[in-house]
């Protein structure tokens, strides 16, 4: 995947805005490696207060636990960059903000921090939603290429694109 530029991210956020506002849905975000970039892409758009509730940048494991309810046992067992962690981050954001949809991102943007089985560029993204009283959470792993900014840009774009399908 090529690293999206600012215009492409803005256009994608615009599609998210149209989708959410048109459906009367509200979004919350829980971010780690993207450092608030998904929230920034959303709030750069005029009128975003209609559909964007807020977000949490939970970079440390302690913040993931305290602010989003990620279990310490999960973090100890599988780490911050894992399916279980992003699923709990997304569910935590959904609950804490009272959102209809939440997206969570956790990954290794680099240039350091890679490890066996989790090289630099590994990013997990999860989307949680509540519709008609039913909760669903889906997650996916990515192996993004490039430097730190390229990995983060790709993660932001994929997180936003996934909101359209949540």
* Predicted confidence (pLDDT) per residue in 60-96, tens digit: 999 999 999 999 999 999 999 999 999 999 999 999 9
Tell me the domain boundaries of the chain: 6-165
pLDDT at position 147: 96
Helix, strand, or coil here: 16?
helix
Q: For residue range 115-155, what is the model confidence (pLDDT) as tens digits?
A: 889 999 999 999 999 988 899 999 999 999 999 999 999 99
Confidence band of 1 (pLDDT split at 50, 70, 90): low
Mean pLDDT value of segment 22-33: 98
Distance CA 63, CA 43 (A): 22
Structural fold of domain 6-165: Maf protein (3.90.950)
Pairing of strands 134-143, 122-131: antiparallel
- How much of the chain, in percent, has pLDDT values that exceed 90? 94
* Other residues' Cβ atoms within 10 Å of the Cβ of residue 150: 18
Rounded to the nearest 5°, which phi and psi values hold at 115?
A: -150, 170
To the nearest whole number, what is the mean pLDDT of the chain? 97
- Residue 126 bridge partners (DSSP): 104, 139
Looking at residue 132, what is its pLDDT?
87
CA distance linking residue 84 with residue 126, whole number of Å: 9
Q: How confident is the model at residue 166, as a pLDDT?
A: 85
pLDDT given at position 70: 98
């Amino acid at each position: 995947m090529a690293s999206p530029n600012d215009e492409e991210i803005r256009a994608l956020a615009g599609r998210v805005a149209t989708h959410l506002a048109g459906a009367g849905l509200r979004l919350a975000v829980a971010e780690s490696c993207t450092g608030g970039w998904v929230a920034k892409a959303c709030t750069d758009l005029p009128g975003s207060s209609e559909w964007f509730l807020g977000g949490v940048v939970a970079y440390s494991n302690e913040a993931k636990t305290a602010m989003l309810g990620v279990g310490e046992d999960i973090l100890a067992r599988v780490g911050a960059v894992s399916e279980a962690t992003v699923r709990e981050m997304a569910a935590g954001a959904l609950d804490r903000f009272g959102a209809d949809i939440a997206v969570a991102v956790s990954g290794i943007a680099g240039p350091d921090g890679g490890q066996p089985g989790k090289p630099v560029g590994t990013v997990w993204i999860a989307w949680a939603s509540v519709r008609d009283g039913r909760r669903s959470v889906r997650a996916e792993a990515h192996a993004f290429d490039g430097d730190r900014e390229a990995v983060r840009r790709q993660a932001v774009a994929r997180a936003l694109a996934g909101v359209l399908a949540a």
